[in-house]
Amino acid sequence: MAEPEAVDLLQGCGLPRAWAGQNAWRILDTGFERGLPFLNTWRAWKNDPQRPRLLHYVALTSAPPKPDELLACAAPISDLKELAQALRPQWFGLLPGFHRLTLEGGQVLLTLCVGEVTALLREQRFVADAIYLNTPDPDGAAVLPWNSWTFKALARCCRRGTRLASTSEAAGLHAGLTQCGFELEARQSAPATGGLSGQFNPRWTIKHTRDPAPGHPVEPGSCAVIGAGLAGASVAATLARRGWQVRVLDQARAPAAGASGLPAGLVVPHVSGDDCTLSRLSRSGVRLMLQQARSLLRPGQDWNATGTLERHLDGSAGLPLRWSTTGQDWSHPAPPETTTHGKPAIWHKQAAWLKPAQLVQAWLAQPGVTFQGGARVDALRPDGDQWALLDAQGQVLARADRVVFANAGGALPLLETLQTTQPSLGLRLDQLPALHGVRGQLSWALHQDTAEEAFPPFPVNGAGSVIPGIPVDGAAPAARAWFVGSSYQPDTQPALPEGENHAANLARLQQLLPALGQALAPRFAAGAVQAWSNTRCVSADRLPLVGPLYQADRPGLWICAGMGSRGLSFSMLCAELLAARWGAEPLPVEAGLANALNALRANAAP
Ligand SMILES: Cc1cc2nc3c(=O)[nH]c(=O)nc-3n(C[C@H](O)[C@H](O)[C@H](O)COP(=O)(O)OP(=O)(O)OC[C@H]3O[C@@H](n4cnc5c(N)ncnc54)[C@H](O)[C@@H]3O)c2cc1C
């Protein structure tokens, strides 16, 4: 049996009956404590044949439990213990802010929000179906420091009919909730534990005065995604999991024909002394990407969570000055034996190498996703309530309720044509940050006997990067390759010859790992290295773009592009953000951070 309070919260919100047959159900828990109400709700979802397709559980806490506390609280109850153990691998690096943990193949999403309760409530942009006003103490002492702003912030997460259950019935709680619009009754069903339950039913018209109105969820329908790289395939899989029928069109015959054809890349967080927006977003993205890799790819063959060493050749420290022990779950100063010339280096624990094309294939293979190759989209036109996607001859390639432009540098020309042919649409291309192409070339070769001892046992980045020991698909089983990269050159300049890019890659390697650079120099000189090159689509502020392309109640055209040099860190985060906006679901990151990725962010009116 679970603790009575945990069961009570569920029952007090009319669950599991209330969520039967729903597409998604969103629970807001104001006090995660040691996690029992969450584990209990997850178990109820698992055991319910009429469970919603998606369970969102947003939990607030000032301090998440330590992993052993989480496991200990579930230990006496065998099926909860199993769930706690399944959660354990994702229980790391829970710094202040939001953390999205993905369970049950993405059907149970826990968003753990760490910080002060009013601030956390204000960063939410969703409407809860049920609220657990969870307080461990019957006198409500944990909640009573709440002020009227906290209750108002809670009310902003409610719709008429949102159910609420509390394990406390303290007078201050009753008054605060009533004033902000709840109708409450004492919990007859729970005489042992006491508590309140009720629903949001204010006597006034509900108005959202600040931005946050998340709108109504759009019922899943059909979606066409242009571009079958990391951006398009992640969007497709994420929407399909929510019940959308998604067709992914690409001009190439096979998926991952653009930058996502990269033979191997790094999934690694960005760090900065001030823990800037890019750093924080990259950690959220890396967390989501590592979860995807764990559930969809073959470890050792398609990816490996090796960790990565980042060397700061300019002598800067990289990490924030007061980096907590929780932050060190992510990245910490590297041991002295891994540094050279006394220059600081950082060990990224939560980092991996990954073959993007394998992940793209895995996402496209999800139920509900169809890939259509050899389908270059040259124009779009409205077609009833839908959009028709046309080829150069004006033939219809596909029709869909919604369209996502995930075709990197190919998006803008297509949108410019659309702006000309459909002026009434009000496309706001002037508000998109500038996008430009940046060419990149990797140098690579199979490992041979020579120079093996000079390779590190893990990837190293900093000035360029080296990724050693990558199994080569289709080659002899033991064949492994190393990759050294990458050149970085605007595509407005004439492309450099391959040899010049190899030389630039070698020069960077000689700075990054001098011994390895020296050992590999003869191979470069003999022309015994191969090249892989493509073009990155980079935005002016180095952050991707995700969002609608014009202002409307229910805009049908969206973009997810501009992944720059970090498609492996950002694609899944962007896909989750897009899906959250379509479904009026909880955001995977704080609203302030999510806004930094809004597509229409340049020259936007304040
Ligand atoms: C040398 C190099 C090294 C890199 N290393 C890393 C790394 O270590 N880590 C990392 O995270 N990232 C790395 N990147 C960046 C990463 O590869 C990109 O961020 C990512 O692949 C971008 O994915 P995407 O889906 O946005 O674009 P793409 O993969 O380019 O996909 C766009 C797709 O759209 C299709 N398309 C375009 N126009 C149309 C049209 N009109 N109709 C139909 N289809 C169309 C294209 O055929 C293409 O398949 C590297 C990039 C390069 C070039």
Beta carbons of 312 and 318 less than 8 angstroms apart: yes
Phi, psi angle pair for 387, to nearest 5°: -115, 140
pLDDT of 437 higher than 60: yes
Query: 458-478, pLDDT tens digit by residue?
Result: 999 998 999 999 999 877 777
Model confidence at 337: pLDDT above 80: no
Mutate to test the pocket of ligand 1, among 238, 250, 303 (most ligand atoms within 8 A of CB): 250
Number of H helices, E strands in the chain: 16, 29
Sequence letter at residue 10: L
What pLDDT was estimated at residue 208?
Answer: 61
Average pLDDT of every residue of the chain = 92
* Amino acid at the residue 144: L
Taking the CA of residue 378 as reference, the ligand 1 atom at the shortest distance is 41
Does residue 320 have a cis peptide bond before it, meaning omega lies within 30 degrees of 0? no
Q: DSSP for 101-169, please give it.
A: EEEGGGTEEEEEEES-HHHHHHT--S-EEEEEE--SSTT-TTTTT--HHHHHHHHTTEEEEEEEEES--
Q: Is the CB of 560 under 6 A from ligand 1?
A: no
Tell me which DSSP letter residue 599 carries: S
Q: How confident is the model at residue 3 (pLDDT cuts 50, 70, 90)?
A: low
What is the reported pLDDT for 144?
67
Asked if residue 209 has pLDDT above 60, the reply is: no
- Report the alpha-carbon distance of residue 5 to residue 167 in Å, rounded: 6
* Per-residue pLDDT tens over the stretch 441-460: 999 999 987 778 889 999 99
User: 407 CA to middle of ligand 1, Å?
Assistant: 8
- Mean pLDDT (whole number) for 496-503: 96
Q: Are 481 and 523 in contact (CB under 8 A)?
A: no
C-alpha of residue 213 to centroid of ligand 1, in Å: 33
The answer to whether the beta carbons of residues 466 and 512 sit under 8 Å apart is yes
Only one residue has tokens 């055209």, namely 557
Beta strands in 191-261 (DSSP E): 196-200, 222-226, 245-249
**Residue nearest atom 20 of ligand 1, based on CA coordinates:** 567
SS3 (DSSP) at 574: helix
Q: Strand 352-354 to strand 265-267: parallel, antiparallel, or no bridges (unpaired)?
A: antiparallel
Q: Is 594 a pocket residue for ligand 1 (Cβ < 6 Å)?
A: no
State residue 463's pLDDT score. 84
pLDDT for residue 606: 47
Res 212 pLDDT > 70: no
Instruction: State how far the alpha carbon of 253 is from the alpha carbons of 256, 373, 386, 405, in Å.
Output: 10, 4, 25, 18
Whether residue 578 has pLDDT greater than 60: yes
311 or 112: whose pLDDT is higher?
112
Output the residue whose Cα is nearest ligand 1's atom 18: 567
Give me the domains of the chain, ranges plus CATH numbers. Answer: 4-200 (3.40.50.150), 222-258+358-434+540-595 (3.50.50.60), 437-537 (3.30.9.10)
Share of the chain above pLDDT 70, in %: 93
Query: In the numeric block, which tokens belong to residue 510?
Result: 């000689």
Confidence of residue 340 (pLDDT cuts 50, 70, 90): low
**What's the gap in Å between 229 CA and the centre of ligand 1?**
6
pLDDT digits (tens, 9 = 90+) for 486-496: 999 999 999 99
Q: Would strands 222-226 and 245-249 be described as parallel, antiparallel, or unpaired?
A: parallel
> Is the shortest distance between the CB of 142 and ligand 1 below 6 Å?
no
> Is the pLDDT confidence value at 192 over 60?
no
Q: Which amino acid is at 424?
A: S
Type and span of the H or E element at 44: helix 36-47
Question: pTM for this structure?
Answer: 0.95
Q: Is 544 in the pocket of ligand 1 (CB under 6 A)?
A: no
pLDDT of residue 223: 98
- The amino acid at 64: P
Q: Confidence class of residue 194 from pLDDT cuts 50, 70 and 90?
A: low
**In 10 A of CB 573, how many CB atoms?**
27
- Checking DSSP bridges between strand 557-561 and strand 545-548, what pairing results, if any? antiparallel
Cβ atoms < 10 Å from Cβ of 324: 11
Q: What's the whole-number mean pLDDT along residues 46-66?
A: 96
CB burial string 454-463: b at 16+ within 10 A, e below: ebbebbbbbb
pLDDT the model gives residue 319 = 87
